[in-house]
Amino acid sequence: MSTIMAIAAHPGDGFFTMGATVAQHIHNGGRGVFLSLSLGEKGHPTLSPGAYGAMQQQASEKAAKILGADTAFLAYRDAEIPWNEDANFAVCDQIRRFKPQIVLTHWSGSWHKDHQNCHAIVRDAIFYAGLPAIVRSLPAHSVERLYFADNWEDAANYQPDTYLETSGVYDTWLKACDAFPMWRGETGFRYNDYYRSLAVMRGCLSGCPYAVALMSSAEERVRHVKAL
């Protein structure tokens, strides 16, 4: 069974920007995993970080259950996710634990520090996870494909090259996202309107009702052919 793993700085990023892709993979017979580096606990204008963090984790677990996916969480503080070797190896260990063939994460062109660091951490973690000479508690595992999600906060120089139809899982994905209060605009930004509309727009470009756009890692775009 092929596994896809969405690695995001915050739970909402994982489900709003990567959730439809994960849902489609599960729908096609694969396995899906959501890894959040933090709980995004500082993102509510009135609730305490402790209360909102607990709400975010509960929402993630509920949303994952709707999609038929697994969840995992690291304990970094929201807005303080570090890019260092400890974080690189923590994510490396999760990659070796779940053994994904495909990883989704943030694009680097973001104004959000946590998103920038998550991007860098994932790149390093994939490299470490695939090296047998790096001895950890679990054996090495090589990721086959890396994609960057279409996120309104990570839009600088984002150039999608892959379109995936998600029409068959669109309603289920919306139901999963609705587990999050922030999806309904309770923290200010109208996530539901933006990402629902984005799915329609990407679908228009794909010739189908709904789709997501993904950006491949640069080294994976190279094709070696003898003829076209």
In tens, the pLDDT along 89-137 reads 999 999 999 999 999 999 999 999 999 999 999 999 999 999 999 999 9
Distance CA 7, CA 13 (A): 9
Distance CA 59, CA 26 (A): 19
- Give which of 63, 57, 52 is closest to 15, Cα–Cα: 63
Element at 37 (helix H, strand E): strand 31-38
Residue 182, judged by CB atoms within 10 A of its CB (0-12, 13-18, 19+), counts as buried
Average pLDDT in the chain: 96
227 versus 132: the higher-pLDDT residue is: 132
Residue identified by tokens 């690291």 is 74
pLDDT value at 220 more than 90: no
Whether 5 and 97 have beta carbons less than 8 Å apart is answered as: no
Q: Report percent pLDDT > 90 for the chain.
A: 93
- Give which of 156, 172, 188 is closest to 64, Cα–Cα: 172
Distance CA 81, CA 114 (A): 6
Which whole number is the average pLDDT over 183-200?
Answer: 95
Each residue of 18-27: pLDDT tens digit? 999 999 999 9
CATH of range 3-218; options 3.40.50.10320, 3.40.50.11900, 3.40.50.620, 3.40.50.2300? 3.40.50.10320
pLDDT value at 57 more than 80: yes
| Global confidence as pTM | 0.96
Each residue of 156-190: pLDDT tens digit? 999 999 999 999 999 999 999 999 999 999 888 99
